[in-house]
Amino acid sequence: MSDAAIAERRLAEARPALQAFLARAAGARGAALEEARPLSGGAIQENWLLTVAFDGGALPGRQALVLRSDASSGVAVSLSRAQEFAVLRAARAAGVTVPEPLWLCEDPAVLGRPFYVMRRLEGVAAGHRIVKDRTLSGDRDALAERLGRELARIHTIIPPRTDLAFLAPPGADPARTAVQRYRAYLDALRRPWPGLEWGLRWCELHAPPPGEVVLLHQDFRTGNYLLDEHGLTGILDWEFCGWGDPMSDIGWFCAHCWRFGQDELEAGGIAPRAPFYRGYEAESGRRVDARRVAYWEVMAHLRWAVIALQQGARTLDGGEASLELALTGRVYPPELELAVLAMTPPPAWVAR
């Protein structure tokens, strides 16, 4: 039986308990689950589109919701659903456009694993479609500027925060900490990757000095926000949040590997950098440090390469027979490695 079929059966069995939870959470007399459809594309979590009819309570009537639960194979580095729920609330309070987080359920009696429910947003997230279909969201410079502002709002969240105390404390040196983390990940894969080691060594030698520390989204890129014909409807996929250098989120957004083939549109394949930077600077009052961003773009390719290798390893060692994961581990790393090498040729090594 496929994963999807197993999940579908589990949800069907949980229907009475889920309806009872939803009614209680919404303070409604009752909640009827009219539709439940799995959303594809979650290697780490399961997403369900729900249509629920509430009888009274906080959200009376028919509501379009998303239920997000941990998947069977969690990635250790990502947040739990309970933690993600807390981050989503913090982001919403900071003025970031996100799907409204509604209710968290940590009682395993309901679904067998923790989940939360949020309002469903309409729109398209797929990166390949967004870079090609210009009817989405209208003016692309305006979209890039808006995304810059959104990112700046995420970065207004700074430590310490009692509601986000589960996030690992910011290291004294985010860049060198990242180098060490990715080396440890490579070691765990038990295969040699000299091309990635080249890039990591460059990153070690050229690490920018520690500076400001803010909340990072750490997967803020084309493919992880929703657009409709008018513009942005929400920033998604908050499971990799952590503390660090604000310029690293900008580097991730602009990295070559997240332009979906639109190489000349350096801000996420949708626009030049200028409007994205303009929005970010206007909202944050912080200058975009181009050198730091360039550094974090090298790191972005290394990070994505390591994650892709980890996903591939789940089929090799983890006994998880998935063609999608296997191809991820095989297809992406060589191109990412070439990009890293292109950014770090011998003349780009400054003797220290």
Q: Do the beta carbons of residue 18 and residue 111 sit within 8 Å? A: yes
Are residues 268 and 219 in contact, defined by beta-carbon separation less than 8 angstroms?
Answer: no
Which amino acid appears at position 48 of this protein? W
Per CB under 8 A, the list member of 181, 198, 272, 316 interacting with another protein is 198
Q: Does 342 bind another protein (CB under 8 A)?
A: yes
Binding residues for another protein restricted to 298-327, rule: CB under 8 A? 323-324, 326-327
**115, 224, 307 from 75: Cα distances, Å:** 16, 18, 10
Q: Is there binding between residue 122 and another protein (CB under 8 A)? A: no
> Distance between CA atoms of 248 and 164, rounded to whole angstroms?
20
Q: Which of 297, 303, 310, 313 binds another protein (CB under 8 A)?
A: 297
- DSSP symbol at 348: G
By the rule CB under 8 A, 162 interacts with another protein: no
Minimum distance from residue 332 beta carbon to another protein (Å): 8
CA 128 from centre of chain: 17
Stretch touching another protein by CB under 8 A, among 15-23, 59-67, 140-148, 334-342: 334-342
Closest approach of another protein to the CB of residue 343, in Å: 4
| Contact range with another protein by CB under 8 A, out of 56-64, 76-84, 190-198, 230-238 | 190-198
Instruction: Decide if residue 184 touches another protein (CB under 8 A).
Output: no
Check: CB of residue 21 under 8 Å from CB of residue 52: no
Q: Which is nearer to another protein, 64 or 331 (by Cβ)?
A: 331
Task: Note if the bond before 333 is cis, omega within 30 degrees.
Answer: no
Distance CA(46)–CA(39), nearest Å, equals 7
Per DSSP, what are the bridge partners of residue 350?
none
335 is a site residue for another protein (CB under 8 A): yes
Rounded CA-CA distance 64/123 in Å is 13
Backbone angles phi, psi at 15, to 5 degrees: -50, -50
Q: Please select the residue that binds another protein; options are 173, 197, 281, 289, rule is CB under 8 A.
A: 197
Which residue in 191, 209, 285, 319 binds another protein (CB under 8 A)? 191
Among 201, 231, 289, 320, binds another protein (CB under 8 A): 201
Report the C-alpha gap between 37 and 1 in whole angstroms: 17
Return the number of the residue (64 or 348) whose C-beta is nearest another protein: 348
DSSP 84-128: HHHHHHHHHHTT---PPEEEEE--HHHHSS-EEEEE---SB--HH
334 binds another protein (CB under 8 A): yes
167 or 339: CB nearest another protein: 339
Residue 302: CA atoms inside 13 Å, Cβ hemisphere, count?
33
Nearest distance from C-beta of residue 198 to another protein, angstroms: 5
State the number of binding residues for another protein (CB under 8 A): 35
From 1, 40, 162, 319, residue interacting with another protein (rule: CB under 8 A): 40
Q: Which of 32, 49, 94, 294 binds another protein (CB under 8 A)?
A: 294
Query: What angle separates helix 246-254 from helix 290-316, to the nearest 10 degrees?
Result: 70
Query: Based on CB atoms, which residue is closest to another protein, 200 or 247?
Result: 200
Binding footprint of another protein on the chain (CB under 8 A): 40, 183, 191-195, 197-198, 200-201, 205, 256, 263, 294, 297, 323-324, 326-327, 330-331, 333-335, 337-338, 341-346, 348-349
